[in-house]
Chain A
Amino acid sequence: MSALEVWTFRLLVVVALALFSVQMATRLRLVAAGAQNLRWDRFPERFRQFLVDVVFQARVIRAKPWVGSAHLLVFWGFVAFAGFTAVESLRGLGLLDLTETHWFRSYRVALAPFAVAVLAGILFLLVRRGLFRPPALGQTVSKESILIGVLIATLMVTFLLDLRLEGGAERVNWWVHMLVILAFLVLIPDSKHLHLVLSPVTVFLKSPVLGDVPNLDFEREEVGFETVADLPAKQRLDAFTCVECGRCQEACPAFATGKLLNPKKLILDAQRAMLGGQLDAKLVDVFDDGVLWQCTTCGACENQCPVGIEHVPLIIGSRRGLVSNGEAPDYLGPVFNNLERRGNIWGLTYDQRDKFIASAGVETFDASRHSYLVWLGCAGAFEADYQKSLRALFEILHANGVRFGVLAKERCNGDPAKRTGNEYIFQELATQNAEELRQAGAKKIVTSCPHCLKTLGQDYRRFGLDAEVVHSAVLVSELTSHVHLAKDDEVTFHDPCYLGRYAGHTAEPRALLHRVGAEVKEPVRNRDNPFCCGAGGGLLFEEHESGKRISQERLDQLQATGARRVVTACPFCSIMLKGAQASTQSSTEMVDLISYVNDKLRGEGRGAGG
């Protein structure tokens, strides 16, 4: 390399690095200015998610095997090329020339198949983006993405040519290759390709628990996120990491039913506000009108996001900011007052629960005699259909010699308050419930409500409850492993979000159904990626849902399986789906999992006839 070449290259490198750094600094400063909520605890779990989601790109591939695999090739190609780029840069800078070493020659040859793989991958992605324009990626073809794609392709072509070319042509080729790399460096920070740099960190920092929303600290006068400036570091990092893939948007039940809420846009709106210096803007103004209240907290967006972005804490955090100022939607006011004054969402008095317990002949929990505490939940206290399911659970437990009791008095677990951002009521309820459960000495708690499962099992850890909490589907499937009834029915199963997605219990309900003779016809969106019933996040109380009702959409999906029976395992899914069914007058039968299983076990009732 001539001296002129070396000096030109040095100059260009300095300019490119400077441009890169300035743009990066703006973003990193914004992240650093947010309240510190980056957590490094639970290292093994974090390392695992790094390995699975970054190194093996599992989440990229899972939902979209073709695109994901192409992306895996490009990703691994980049990693493989890091050494090559470093060596060539050192040579270009005139610092150290390793290009004639033996190992570099072998490395170069070994890279050739990678280059072909990356080229194939990127051409596939370019064609998909340019010609097929998947809606999740936005209406218009992003010029920036096409440019980046062409640059990557150029890198690979020049690399491959380099293996063949000699003399002047080789120099030109080298320059093209290196200039593309420098251009890349300059383009990255202000594009979604910033995820190349940030996503490994973001994935590592993501909570190992889906939809994890830490408590507000009242001592420190925390009230939730009101303005852009209130967004803490992880939420800021999230906003800069988004690769705009639209997977969250595709998974979102609110977006799918024509509502304004789009989790992808939410993240990009936060990014735009930060870069635009609107730190004092209210979040409610930064986001589209009303979208914060359209979220069911189903967790689909967060669970699909390949780069570790956590939407649920952002949404609930922003709701908290509104609720703390008295700006919750009108339909939540009575719910909050009911929770505060009566300890349940319906504002009923608990004598109904007492009557139910008395008529079901259930004892008050006594740690010396009972191995399980059955947590009824507010639906267990007031909802007739769900009480049937609980009676079925009691029968199964009795039949299997499991000794159990219930608390003399319960309050709502606080899930509706937590997910709607009313942290004051949530903490009041959680503190009292956790204390009473601890005092009762319960070591094992079983519930038929997936929301109770998540709240008692995860959120109550922060209130000092360390009992094991299981869903009845899991316990009953353990108790009935010996059962094998002949197949005589065909059903479809709706995975509740808080059971399938949040708790990952997808196998147990299916094993149970199979065991009692029901073949499961899977609907679209099943197991750990179900389509929400529309009840979560306080939307159970929203009567004027815009667009198509989420529950209606889900019912349509379930009916499309052709099964005459829909089985589910959550009192709120039941309420929503029954509501949707009532308005369509279809003949599909709704039944709760445990009721169904018990009917079959007893060889009677509607379930047994098939």
Chain B
Amino acid sequence: MKIAVCVKQVLSREATIRVNDQGTWVRDADAQFEINEPDQYALEEALRLKEQHGGEVIAVSAGPARVTQVLREALARGADRAIHVGDDALVEGDAFVVAAALAEAIRPEGVDLILTGLQSDDQGFGQVGVVMAERLGMPHATIIMDVSLADGQVRVKRELEGGWFQWVTLPLPTLLTIQSGINQLRYATLKGIMAAKKKEIRAVRAEGRASEQRIARLYVPEKSKQTRVLEGSAAEIAKELVQALREARVI
């Protein structure tokens, strides 16, 4: 069982966020980063599957040199090796570009299973996984709550709306996007950290590809206050109030 897990490096929740000069993304030169939370669950699930069925877990991350930090974290928690898909432009790349870069890096590995987090904590497109599956010609399933492997097939539990679940069986190889909270995350151990120092992070270059989508403007939500005094008889005021609330989309 060869499993690839895609992990993204996102801004830390502790970081003070500042918009960059072009107003297109956050200023990340002095920011703090961490591993995307849903990806932590994907990694944990991969490690558990490996513990049950044997095999290998490969952590893959796309982005500038700093993303090796999350790869080290994945290695410390038990991934066997890592691939760094290096390209500074990927920071502002759209889901399609990132998915393409990851897919090309994973393709030669011939993996049985690819796990990603359901979505990223920063952009939250929820697209990279499914686009990758499409490019690699694999089936995929999203919002996964449970994974079990048997007879060369994978049976998963998907979360639907309104408390409903769906059970699906897929052939291998396949791609799953994992929902947060599916398992209990392990912590980094000293032995794991020591072992991680000796594990390989292979760097591959991403093919330069232009994004189709681009962020036009990034800004801090603007708060504004408006006061309007309604006048007239009670009935008129009530009518006007309902009208105003409708306009403000409160009701």
- Answer yes or no: A326 CB below 8 A from chain B CBs: yes
For B187, list chain A residues within 8 Å (CB): 326, 328, 332-333, 336-337, 340, 422
Residues A326 and B186 in contact, CB atoms below 8 Å apart: yes
For B186, list chain A residues within 8 Å (CB): 326, 333
Identify which of residues 1-58 in chain B touch chain A, using a CB-to-CB cut-off of 8 Å: 12-14, 34
Interface residues on B, range: 10 to 19
Residues B190 and A223 in contact, CB atoms below 8 Å apart: yes
For B225, list chain A residues within 8 Å (CB): none
Residues A330 and B184 in contact, CB atoms below 8 Å apart: yes
Q: B184's contact among A326, A333, A342, by CB below 8 Å, is which?
A: A333
Q: For the complex formed, measure the closest distance between the CB of A316 and the CB atoms of chain B, giving whole angstroms.
A: 14
Q: A216's contact among B13, B188, B189, B190, by CB below 8 Å, is which?
A: B190
Residues B13 and A324 in contact, CB atoms below 8 Å apart: no
CB nearest to A216 among chain B residues:
B190
Bound state CA distance, A343 and B188, in angstroms? Answer: 14
- Answer yes or no: A325 CB below 8 A from chain B CBs: yes
For B190, list chain A residues within 8 Å (CB): 216, 218, 223-224, 320, 323-324, 423-424
Bound state CA distance, A333 and B188, in angstroms? Answer: 9
- Answer yes or no: B64 CB below 8 A from chain A CBs: no
- Answer yes or no: B107 CB below 8 A from chain A CBs: no
Residues A323 and B189 in contact, CB atoms below 8 Å apart: yes
Q: For the complex formed, measure the closest distance between the CB of B23 and the CB atoms of chain A, giving whole angstroms.
A: 24
Bound state CA distance, A332 and B192, in angstroms? Answer: 17
Which residue of B184, B185, B186, B189 has the most chain A CB atoms within 10 A of its CB atom?
B189
CB nearest to A222 among chain B residues:
B190
Residues B14 and A342 in contact, CB atoms below 8 Å apart: yes
Residues A221 and B194 in contact, CB atoms below 8 Å apart: yes
Identify which of residues 357-377 in chain A touch chain B, using a CB-to-CB cut-off of 8 Å: none
Bound state CA distance, A341 and B11, in angstroms? Answer: 12
Bound state CA distance, A221 and B198, in angstroms? Answer: 13
For A610, list chain B residues within 8 Å (CB): none
Residues A326 and B189 in contact, CB atoms below 8 Å apart: yes
- Answer yes or no: A99 CB below 8 A from chain B CBs: no
Q: B14's contact among A216, A332, A340, A343, by CB below 8 Å, is which?
A: A343
Q: For the complex formed, measure the closest distance between the CB of A427 and the CB atoms of chain B, giving whole angstroms.
A: 10
Bound state CA distance, A341 and B188, in angstroms? Answer: 11
For A221, list chain B residues within 8 Å (CB): 194
Bound state CA distance, A223 and B186, in angstroms? Answer: 18
Supply 22 A–B pairs (Cβ within 8 Å), ascending by A: A216-B190, A218-B194, A221-B194, A223-B190, A223-B194, A323-B190, A324-B189, A324-B190, A325-B189, A325-B191, A326-B189, A328-B187, A333-B185, A336-B188, A337-B185, A337-B187, A340-B188, A342-B14, A343-B14, A424-B188, A424-B189, A424-B193
Closest 6 interchain pairs by CB? Answer: A336-B187, A324-B190, A326-B189, A424-B190, A223-B190, A324-B191
Q: Give B contacts to A, CB under 8 Å.
A: 12-14, 34, 184-194
